[in-house]
Amino acid sequence: MTSEIRIGIIGTGGIAHAHARAYKQIPSAAIVGVADIVPGKAAGFVAAEQLEAEPYTDHRELLSTDIDGVSICAPNAAHHRLTIDALRAGKHVLLEKPMSVTLDEAIEMVEAARVSPGMLTIGFQPRYDPNMKLVQEIVQSGQLGNVYYVETGGGRRRGMPGGTFIRKELAGAGAMADIGCYSLDMALNALGYPKPVSVSAYTSNHFGTNPKYHPEADRFDVEDFGVAMVRFERDLVLQFKISWAMHMDTLGATMFLGSEGGLKVTPHGTGNWSGVWDGSVGSMTLYHDLMGLQTQTPVPAIAHQKDLFLEKVRDFADAIREGRPAPIPGEQILIQQAIIDGVLRSSEQRREVAIELPLLGDSAGAS
């Protein structure tokens, strides 16, 4: 097929397999090259996934070929360099979450995308859940009036990762970035990604640094808990709380409070790993007054069989083919990075800190 999109994958660890499986289900896309910094790993990946693709150790060699786009599936610390190199080579980029380690890196990535013929989209598959679209539609419909307060996040009773996720130099932040990025994305996208102006936050790592709870406690230097109050340019505050581990069953539901109504969203599932709002919707209730009566209306969840990961990869490939802009643009996710950066600064300085985002207007819009 002449219109086939030629794809490369950079980083061939765990999540790269999900990308490969998705592209294989998209007839108009073909994986033609893969790169991994560990010698031999890309070739092993090609064999394991039964691809007709060229393996590389140096990602720049892959980027010098005639590929249209790349999935970047390397650890967080490599996202910045690989994304900049791909965009400068004129390639479209589907970057795994979280966007980057630091805010400065994220700013450079957005700047590179603005001058590249390639797009930068960040891979948040929960966006493709029709229930998430419903949350967004309700919030943006005006039914809630002026939405002035949002509470989101959640907590796992136990659910701390290890390896690269627990080192600040490699991951940037801990629970706030790893799982908090999903809650933030869902809430902020529903609100149209408004521009934050300040944050007051507290973070701690009482579980991660305790050998009783974590086998790699001596290497753990990120937060396993965080809570933040974020102010926005418009009349809106967001309370954001996340924990990888705690002595509690839940940190509560996601709530949108408006002048005319409220929306409560409880995540799907039960158990240790289910208490964080990752975009899944278990139940939804609309609180409003009807004929002067205080009323609660359950919002039925939309049953669907969608493979959300496939949807995100397909949207990237379709956007390339159709010449559409990035489905989840770097400009939006930059706002998350700014909030997480502010959380870490505020926590360290023990006071409210300003968030400066000179690259953006009033908001980055919803998608």
Ligand X SMILES: NC(=O)c1ccc[n+]([C@@H]2O[C@H](COP(=O)([O-])OP(=O)(O)OC[C@H]3O[C@@H](n4cnc5c(N)ncnc54)[C@H](O)[C@@H]3O)[C@@H](O)[C@H]2O)c1
Chain residues in the site for ligand X (CB under 6 A): 10-16, 35-38, 41, 59, 73-76, 78, 82, 96-97, 123, 125
State the minimum distance, in angstroms, from the CB of residue 63 to ligand X. Answer: 11
- Which CA distances in Å does 76 have to 19, 53, 91, 99, 167? 17, 25, 19, 7, 11
Q: Are 118 and 94 in contact (CB under 8 A)?
A: no
State the minimum distance, in angstroms, from the CB of residue 223 to ligand X. Answer: 16
Residue placing its CB nearer to ligand X in the complex, 170 or 197: 170
State the minimum distance, in angstroms, from the CB of residue 81 to ligand X. Answer: 7
The three-class DSSP label of residue 76 is helix
Residue placing its CB nearer to ligand X in the complex, 96 or 331: 96
State the minimum distance, in angstroms, from the CB of residue 281 to ligand X. Answer: 17
Residue placing its CB nearer to ligand X in the complex, 123 or 330: 123
State the minimum distance, in angstroms, from the CB of residue 117 to ligand X. Answer: 22
Note if the bond before 98 is cis, omega within 30 degrees: yes
Instruction: Give me the DSSP letters along 305-337.
Output: ---HHHHHHHHHHHHHHHTPPPSSBHHHHHHHH
Q: Which residue is nearest to ligand X (CB)?
A: 13
Of 265, 245, 263, 107, nearest to 179 (Cα)? 245
Residue placing its CB nearer to ligand X in the complex, 92 or 97: 97
Q: Compute, in degrees rounded to 10, the torsion defined by CA atoms 352, 357, 361, 367.
A: -90
Residue placing its CB nearer to ligand X in the complex, 58 or 233: 58
Q: Are 179 and 244 in contact (CB under 8 A)?
A: yes
State the minimum distance, in angstroms, from the CB of residue 124 to ligand X. Answer: 7
Q: How far apart are CA 90 and CA 63, in angstroms?
A: 9
Residue placing its CB nearer to ligand X in the complex, 14 or 27: 14
**Measured in whole angstroms, how far is the alpha carbon of residue 327 from the centre of its chain?**
13
